[in-house]
């Protein structure tokens, strides 16, 4: 096998691992009315003042998708929207107590699944994997 083929095989393997992880986490979260995407959004808005545009940029979703997800989370009382006092075009999104409770449950389930999936790796392998991920993410597009 040449280097390109090896890399292609690794990328396919990483994709399968990611999809398995996402499927397992979403399967656990569905009972809480959440998904990985909703969990990520709730986590993001715990950092403070967050707009739909911030969420769109962070998640890489279309504006329509963000609005749909925010509408669902607001209907489920996990977040609230508030008009910016300085810009009528902007609404900020804030997490509610119910949202914080659901996020805590979701993050716990996520951690359990991650621990199980990555448990076969040694601490050295995990550190190497982290370095590889950081290196690849830091490449400018």
Q: What would the two tokens of residue 56 be?
A: 């769109």
> Which numeric CATH code is attached to 34-104?
1.10.10.10
pLDDT tens-digit readout, 35-69: 888 999 999 999 878 999 999 999 999 999 999 99
At residue 85, φ and ψ (nearest 5 deg) are: -70, -15
pLDDT tens-digit readout, 70-98: 999 999 999 999 998 888 888 899 999 99
Domain boundaries, the chain: 1-32, 34-104
What predicted TM-score, i.e. pTM, was given to this entire model? 0.77
């Amino acid at each position: 096998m040449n280097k390109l083929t090896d890399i292609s095989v690794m990328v396919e393997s990483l994709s399968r691992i990611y999809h398995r992880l996402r499927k397992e986490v979403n399967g656990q979260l569905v009972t809480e009315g959440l998904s990985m995407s909703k969990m990520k959004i709730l986590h993001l808005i715990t950092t403070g003042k967050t707009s739909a545009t911030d969420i769109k940029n962070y998640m890489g979703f279309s504006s329509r998708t963000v609005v749909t997800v925010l509408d669902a989370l607001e209907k489920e009382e996990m977040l609230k929207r508030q008009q910016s006092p300085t810009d009528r075009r902007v609404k900020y999104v804030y997490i509610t107590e119910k949202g914080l409770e659901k996020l805590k449950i979701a993050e716990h389930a996520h951690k359990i699944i991650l621990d199980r999936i990555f448990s076969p790796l040694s601490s050295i392998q995990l550190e190497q994997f982290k370095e590889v991920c950081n290196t690849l993410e830091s490449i400018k597009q």
